[in-house]
Amino acid sequence: MKDTTKIKKLPIGIQTFREIVEKDYLYVDKTAIAYELIENYKYSFLSRPRRFGKSLFLDTLDNIFSGNRELFKGLNIYDRWDWEDNYPVIKIDWAGDFKTLKSTHQVAQQILQENQKRLDIECEFKKNPAGCFRELIQKAYQKYQKPVVILIDEYDKPILDNLDDTQRALENRDFLRSFYVMMKANDAYIKFAFLTGISKFSKANIFSGLNNLEDISLTPKYGNICGYTQNDIETTFMPYLKDVDLDRVKRWYNGYNFLGDSVYNPFDILKFIKNDFIFKNYWWESGNPSFLITLLNKHHYNITNLENLKLGEELLNSFEIEKLTLEVLLFQSGYLTIKEQHQTPIGIRYTLKVPNMEVQTSLNALFLQHLADDTHDRFKEKRC
């Protein structure tokens, strides 16, 4: 076992930037990308698979806008940002129970209540989430005499948690649409807004009215916004990986492509080191995609060949509750990634691939289970 007493602790499961800095956990500096994003966008959206570092990046933005200069010493943004120019931050993290529209409303009310307490603001429309969100934006602007920053994590979770029930998913989608449209109506009070999630709904579905929201998910200069690059592995992580076969690590955990560098899932690398370099399906096992089995059984998708799939840009960037496409779900969830991008006379097309050995072996097991269950069900039907 490697002696790690003189190197930093690994931030497994830690999504709070302040805790990582103050407790001296390892941090891969993403503040140069954060600065670039802030300087060039007012409303932006990022889609990435789960456990890719979206929440930590969002929390980093929170600390930048809150002016917590002491946390950024030694990082890229330290000498570039005006730390005296602070802004009120509204932070929305969709975590909770969304199995009924009532429970979704309750989660929204709780989130807004936490923001009211932190900003020392009180909403009159406490039981109307959209109305309270509007009030919160306007009153924060009035109280602090500064435009507000809005950071929304897992914007789509109330929908994704209900993919097995189309009606519930649609109800939550309509609720979120009425909630998010408040940003458009209060543009004059907003400095910056950043939303993260897994799925990429068409604007007509959930962002109707928010026409100025720019999707940076496949913008090459933001391709490395989440995830670890090969350079990170060979520099920042080298003290942890001195005696490890890096080519094998690359085959197992690298391969995700968002048109920047090929990147590793951070959770895999951290768990791999923590578990004494045992090759396992860490990311997959952290959240087995049961929704895929549900959808496979419900819609009878063709799963015979997932390599070298070709999709147009309009399909890759759409997510329709009423007409779920397996290839799009697999791409947006991280089980497929981009192999090549092609410019054609009729637009951009993408060739997809399975990113690495972890996902390949896991998908094989999942599909074998599905085929076995499907064969068993058909056999039972024939006997009956």
Q: What is the mean pLDDT of residues 285-307?
A: 70
Number of independent structural domains in the chain: 2
CB 41 within 8 Å of CB 219: no
- Whether 343 maps to a domain, the answer reads yes
C-alpha of 126 from chain center: 29
Query: d(Cα 27, Cα 309) in Å, to the nearest integer?
Result: 36
| Closest to 287 in 3D by CA, of 223, 221, 198 | 198
Of 27-41, 105-119, 260-274, 297-311, the least confident = 297-311
pLDDT score, position 374: 54
Q: What is the mean pLDDT of residues 159-179?
A: 90
- Which of 198, 221, 244 is the last residue before a domain boundary? 221
**Alpha-carbon torsion 355, 358, 361, 363, what sign?**
negative
**Alpha-carbon torsion 73, 76, 79, 83, what sign?**
negative
Instruction: Judge if 215 and 362 occupy the same domain.
Output: no
- Which of 178, 200, 221 is the last residue before a domain boundary? 221
- Whether 303 maps to a domain, the answer reads yes
Query: Sorting pLDDT into bands at 50, 70 and 90, what band is 279?
Result: very high
Three-state SS for 14? coil
Query: d(Cα 384, Cα 266) in Å, to the nearest integer?
Result: 49
The angle, 0 to 180 degrees and rounded to 10, between the axes of the packed helices 246-253 and 357-383 is 40
pLDDT score, position 97: 87
User: For the chain, what percent of residues have pLDDT higher than 70?
Assistant: 87
- Which of 196, 221, 246 is the last residue before a domain boundary? 221
Q: What is the mean pLDDT of residues 105-113?
A: 97
pLDDT score, position 165: 87
Instruction: Judge if 205 and 331 occupy the same domain.
Output: no
User: For the chain, what percent of residues have pLDDT higher than 90?
Assistant: 68
Averaged confidence pLDDT in the chain: 89
pLDDT score, position 3: 47
Query: Sorting pLDDT into bands at 50, 70 and 90, what band is 340?
Result: very high
- Which residue type occupies 60? T
Three-state SS for 8? coil
- Whether 376 maps to a domain, the answer reads yes
CATH number at residue 170: 3.40.50
Instruction: Judge if 95 and 176 occupy the same domain.
Output: yes
**Residue 317 domain boundaries:** 290-383
Residues in the chain, overall count: 384
Question: Residue 365 is encoded by which pair of tokens?
Answer: 């097991």
